[in-house]
Amino acid sequence: MNLAAQIDDLSFAHPGADLPALEKVSLLVPAGESAALLGPSGAGKTTLLALLDGRLRGWRGRVSVLGASLDPDQPPLRRLRPDTGFVFQEFALVERSTVLRNVLNGRLGRMPPLRAFLGSPTARDVEVAHRALADCGIADLAERRVDSLSGGQRQRVAIARCLAQEPRLILADEPVSNLDPARAGEILALLTEAARVRGATALFSSHQPDLARRFAQRIIGIRGGRITFNVPTSELNDDTTADLYREVEPMSGRGLRAVS
């Protein structure tokens, strides 16, 4: 099987935290699929996505992304970084800049360092950025400033910036958390279809199991820092999903106890 990510016996605690955010995680993410990461608040979704994005140090275990091993003590090599794109929950856009400029920022990792420093895109960079805008349905917003946009429009800009990077793996942290159900469906359709057309893998976290099931081919459950299931969407049953969100109450010592 061609894999976008392979994780073996991964554990990680945030600096200063008492408990690990991820514990003995082993996970295979097939390439070319859209997969949703479901789990209650604090389960470890953001931490897992940040780790796959190469932003965390000091973990234990083995992690490989798009065939290259990550080093727990070093950021990924510059030449490999653009292959993984990230859509942040809070968008992380430059508010006072235009939509097109923001989307062109997605090209920076693909430019030679001097060109990136000067912020001087090639004709191809501009062409790729315009295609990403068109694919996200916001070609008409190219010259608008980001601080004049709605939440749904910003989310499209954030996805367009990620697509302009031409990533082979798209990681998205709760990409529809700020949107009403109709808009949320549109954005997930957009994200998963853009990944499919490009032959890329998408892994997105979500608090909305029904939407995730509509748009992801694979559902991964995480709870208390541990993977509880990783199945094709067609094999996921309602009890498994309900179990993931069973209430938990703190035990006197370490860990959490499920409440039936």
Strand partners, 10: 25
Question: Measured from the CB atom, is 199 or 250 closer to ligand ATP?
Answer: 250
Question: Measured from the CB atom, is 41 or 260 closer to ligand ATP?
Answer: 41
Q: If you search the block for the tokens 């070093």, which residue do you land on?
A: 74
CB of 241 to ligand ATP, least distance (A): 15
Strands (E), the chain: 3-12, 22-30, 34-38, 60-65, 68-69, 84-87, 169-172, 201-206, 218-223, 226-232, 248-250, 256-258
The binder of ligand ATP chosen from 8, 9, 14, 210 (CB under 6 A): 14
- Indicate whether 228 belongs to the interface with ligand ATP (CB under 6 A): no
- Indicate whether 146 belongs to the interface with ligand ATP (CB under 6 A): no
Per-residue contact flags (x/-) with ligand ATP for residues 20 to 49, judged by CB under 6 A: -x-----------------x-xxxxxxx--
Tokens of 167: 């990533």
- Indicate whether 223 belongs to the interface with ligand ATP (CB under 6 A): no
Tokens of 95: 């508010």
| Interactions with ligand ATP, residue window 198-217 (CB under 6 A) | none
Report whether 20 contacts 188 (CB < 8 A): no
Question: Measured from the CB atom, is 2 or 41 closer to ligand ATP?
Answer: 41
- Indicate whether 224 belongs to the interface with ligand ATP (CB under 6 A): no
Give the pairing type, strands 201-206 and 34-38.
parallel
Report whether 31 contacts 4 (CB < 8 A): yes
Q: Which residues contribute to the site for ligand ATP (CB under 6 A)?
A: 14, 17, 21, 39, 41-47
